[in-house]
Structure 1
Amino acid sequence: MRTARNGVLSVTVEDILARLVGFPSVVGTPNAPIVRWIGDYCLEHGAQVTTLTGPEGDRANLFATIGPRDRPGYILSGHMDVVPAGEPEWSADPFVLRADGDRLYGRGTSDMKGFLACALAALPKIAAMNLEQPIHLAFSYDEEAGCRGVPHLIAALPELCATPAGAIIGEPSRMQAVRAHKGKAAARLEVIGKSGHSSRPDLGLNAVHAMAGVIARAVAYGESLENGPFDENFEPPYSSLQVGLISGGQAVNIIPDRCHADIEVRGVSGVSPTSLLEPVRAHLEALRGKGFQVEWQQLSSYPALSLNVEAPLVDLMRDLTGAEPLAAVSYGTEAGLFQQAGIDSIICGPGDIGRAHKPDEFIERGELQACHRMIEALAVRLAV
C-alpha cells in the first residue's frame, strides 16, 4: 500500500516488513530473491545500488546510496538473513507477517528485518531531500553464521564511497543506542582415531575419550577466564568459553573412531577472541603425539565493539534518540567489524533481542515508528 506524504510517494513500514518476512532468507541458504527485491526497490527510489556476490556464489550483500558518494556519510547496516523457524511452537506460518494489536509476528521481525523495513520505508522521503552527506544502506548475508557476509562488503567500501563518518547497526536494542559488545570466535574440533570391537580397547584409538580430555582442559581453561581481565560494562564482566556441541561414535560396543566438538569464546574489549581459542587448539594438536589425527576449523570470528563515550557518533545518537546510549550489551553484531575497518559504529534498532531466535518472534508498531523517525531525523541533519 502506498500513501502520499508531502508530495512524496512512499510505502508503509508494515507493507515492506510483510514483504521482507515473506522471503525465507534462512542463514546459509541462497538469498537472490530478497536481494533482488530490495535492489529493485532502492533503484526505483533513486538510490545507487551495488550487489556484492560472496565467494559462495549463491548469496550476496547489497549496498545502496542516496546522496553524494564522494563525501563522508552514514551507514545504516543490517543483515537480511534469519535463523531457521522450524520450532513447532509457532502459532502461525513464521514467514507470513501476522498482526495482533500492537505486535507484528514473524521470523526476523525483531532480528532484524524490522530495521531494514524502516530504512527502506524512509528511502522515498530521503531521496527527495538534497543531501549534503550521503546515507548508505549496507545489507549483509549470513550474519547469523558468525558475520560471514559483511567482511566482503566492508572490503569493497573504498571503491563504493568515501570513508563513512559512522555506521548505525540496527540490531534490536529497543531503540536505545549501545556503545559496546563482546567479540566472538568459534571453532570445530575433530579427532580421528581407530575403530574396533569394544572388548579390545587396546587395539583401537577411542576418539570420544580423546576429545573428552581436550574438552575437560578447555572447560578448566574457560573457568580460569573468570579471573579477568574484567570489563564491568558486560554481564558477565569477563571473557567466557562454552562447548556447545559434541558428537561421535556409532554404537556402545564399537570403539568410536571420530568425534566432533564445537566451541565458542566471547572476549571483553581489548581481548582477541581468536587468541582465546589458542590454548584449546594446543590441547587438540597434542593428540597427534598419541596416534590420533586432528582437524581444526575456524567457524566464525568477529571483534568486540568499543566506542568511546566522547565520540561524535555518541552525541549524534543521543540527539536522534533522546536517550543516553547504553555502555554495553551481551550479544554480538557486525559493529565490531565496521569499527575494525576504521568506521565509528554504534548499535541502535527496533525490537528486543530477547524475542529473537524463538517461536512467535515479534516487533511492536511503536518501535518501528520510533526507528522510522530516527532515520528521517538523521537525513534532515544531512540535508543542505
Structure 2
Amino acid sequence: MQAIEILERLVGFPSVVGTPNGEIVGWIRHYLQRHGIVVTEIAGPEGDRSNLFVTIGPRETPGYILSGHMDVVPATEGGWSSDPFRLRAETDRLYGRGTTDMKGFLAVVLAAVPALAAAQLRRPIHLALSYDEEAGCRGVPHMIARLPELCAPPLGAIIGEPSGMRAIRAHKGKAAARLTVRGRSGHSSRPDRGLNAIHAMTDILVCASAEAERLAQGPFEHVFEPPYSSLQVGTLKGGQAVNIIPDSCEAEFEARAISGIDPATLLAPLRTMADALRQRGFQSEWRELSAYPALSLAADAPLARLLGELTGVEPLAAVSYGTEAGLFQRAGIDAIICGPGDIARAHRPDEFILANELLACQAMIEALARRCIA
C-alpha cells in the first residue's frame, strides 16, 4: 500500500484522544503482521487503549526508533469543509483530522515497512506508536518502561511530529493541573453563613499571575520564544447565579519550563496555597493532568548530525510546542523531532498535509534504512 492509501485508512479511524483506540490499533497490527512483522501491543492502565512496538531487523543490536502517536484532537470545531474523518484530496493537499498531526508520518512509516522488512538491516529500525499524546503524553511512558526487554538500548528516537522535515533539537517541558475548591453555598445576603469558593480561588489566581511575572524575569534560554519558563491560568469555572454564594470553583493551570527545570515545580506554589485553604474551612482537590520533561539535544550529538545528513538541512535549535521526545531523553535515549507537515495547520479546521511533504519524509526514512544496511 502507498502512503496516501494508508493515510486514508488511518484518517478514517476517529482515534480521538482519551477514547478507546482498538480499531486503529487492530488495523495497524494486522497490516504489520501481513508483512511478517512481530507486533508487541502494550496496553495502558485505562484498559481500552494500547501502544504498539515493533522491531524490523536484529533486536539485539542498537538501532533507531521511529516514534509517533495514533491519537488526534477532536474535530468538533466549526469551519470544516468536509468530513474531518474522511480523507479529501484537492490538488496536492490532503485534508482530514490528523493528516499533519501526525497520521501523515505514521502513513509514510507504515508504507516503508515492506521495503524495510525485505532489506538486510544490520541495525534495527523500531516503530513506537503511542496513544493519548494529545492529553499530555499519557500513553508512551508505559511503552518506554518496557523498552529494556523489547530491544537493545537504542541509538536514538526520531519523533515524527510536524516540523517541515527539519529536525528540531529542543522544546520546553510542560505540566498541567486542575484545582477544585469547595466551600458552602447560601443566599448572597448572608455571606457570613457561607464559604465563597470563588473568593478563595482568587488568592490562587493572584499567586499564579505573580509567578508568571516572576518567571518572565529569568532564568533564560534564548533558543526559545519566549526565552523563559511560563505559567498561566487556562480555564476558570464557578458559580450558579449572582445571588447565590458559589460553593465550588475550578481552575486549570499550565506551566512550560526551559531545559533543566522540572515543570511540575513551577506549579508547586499554587498547590501549597490550595492545601492551605483547608485551614479556612474549604476543601481543595489538586489533580495533575499531564507532565512531560523538556527536550535538549546538543548540536554536536550523533543523532543531530545524523538527521542533518538525512534531511540535508541543519537541525533547528528549538520550538515552542512539546512532544514525547523529552520522555525518551529522560529514559536515556537521545531524541529529536522530525516529521512532515506544518504545526501551524494542526488542531485547526481543514487540517491538511501536502503530498510532497509525505515524499520528503519517505526520502528521509529510505536514507535512514541505507545507514542501517551499511
Equivalent AA in structure 2 for residue 56 of structure 1: E
Partner of 2:263: 273
> Cα distance, 1:88 vs. partner?
2.1
Normalising by structure 1, report the TM-score: 0.97
Equivalent AA in structure 1 for residue 98 of structure 2: G
Equivalent AA in structure 2 for residue 328 of structure 1: A
Equivalent AA in structure 1 for residue 330 of structure 2: Q
Cα deviations by residue, 1:14-59 (Å, 9 ceiling, x for unpaired): 0000000000000000000000110111111122210001000000
Q: Separation in 2 of the partners of 1:360 and 1:79?
A: 20
Q: Separation in 1 of the partners of 2:364 and 2:37?
A: 20
CA contact (8 A) 1:46 1:66 kept: no
Partner of 2:64: 74
Q: Separation in 1 of the partners of 2:316 and 2:2?
A: 30
Partner of 2:38: 48
Partner of 1:351: 341
Partner of 1:189: 179
Secondary structure at 2:187's aligned position in 1? coil
CA contact (8 A) 1:339 1:345 kept: yes
Partner of 2:142: 152
Partner of 1:207: 197
Match of residue 298, structure 1, among 260, 274, 288: 288
Partner of 1:253: 243
Partner of 1:374: 364
Equivalent AA in structure 1 for residue 200 of structure 2: A
Q: Separation in 1 of the partners of 2:214 and 2:272?
A: 16
Give 1:2-81 correspondences, 5 Å limit.
11-81=1-71
Q: Separation in 2 of the partners of 1:88 and 1:359?
A: 7
**Are 2:110 and 1:120 aligned?**
yes
> Cα distance, 1:286 vs. partner?
1.8
Match of residue 138, structure 1, among 128, 131, 135: 128
CA contact (8 A) 1:179 1:306 kept: yes
Cα deviations by residue, 1:108-151 (Å, 9 ceiling, x for unpaired): 00000000001001111111100001000000000000000000
**Are 2:192 and 1:177 aligned?**
no
Partner of 2:297: 307
Q: Separation in 1 of the partners of 2:283 and 2:177?
A: 17
Match of residue 86, structure 2, among 79, 96, 110: 96
> Cα distance, 1:289 vs. partner?
1.6
Q: Separation in 1 of the partners of 2:297 and 2:277?
A: 41
Partner of 2:276: 286
Equivalent AA in structure 1 for residue 188 of structure 2: S
Match of residue 223, structure 1, among 210, 213, 223: 213
> Cα distance, 1:74 vs. partner?
0.4
CA contact (8 A) 1:188 1:262 kept: yes
Cα deviations by residue, 1:316-351 (Å, 9 ceiling, x for unpaired): 001100000000000000000000000000000000
Q: Separation in 1 of the partners of 2:95 and 2:213?
A: 39
Q: Separation in 2 of the partners of 1:370 and 1:46?
A: 26
Secondary structure at 1:296's aligned position in 2? strand
Secondary structure at 1:144's aligned position in 2? helix
Gapped runs of 5+ residues in structure 2?
none
Partner of 1:8: none
Secondary structure at 2:18's aligned position in 1? coil
CA contact (8 A) 1:73 1:133 kept: yes
Partner of 1:4: none
Match of residue 334, structure 1, among 302, 324, 340: 324
Match of residue 161, structure 1, among 139, 144, 151: 151
Match of residue 198, structure 1, among 181, 188, 200: 188
Structure 1 runs (4+) greater than 2 angstroms displaced: none
Gapped runs of 5+ residues in structure 1?
1-10
Secondary structure at 1:336's aligned position in 2? helix
Secondary structure at 1:91's aligned position in 2? coil
Which deviates more from structure 2 when the two are superposed, residues 285-294 or residues 305-314?
285-294
Which deviates more from structure 2 when the two are superposed, residues 185-194 or residues 247-256?
247-256
> Cα distance, 1:87 vs. partner?
1.4
> Cα distance, 1:253 vs. partner?
1.3
Cα deviations by residue, 1:89-122 (Å, 9 ceiling, x for unpaired): 1000000000111110000000000000010011
> Cα distance, 1:287 vs. partner?
1.1
Normalising by structure 2, report the TM-score: 0.99
Equivalent AA in structure 1 for residue 250 of structure 2: H
Partner of 2:95: 105
Q: Separation in 2 of the partners of 1:291 and 1:107?
A: 46
Secondary structure at 1:227's aligned position in 2? coil
- Paired residues, number: 374
> Cα distance, 1:380 vs. partner?
1.1
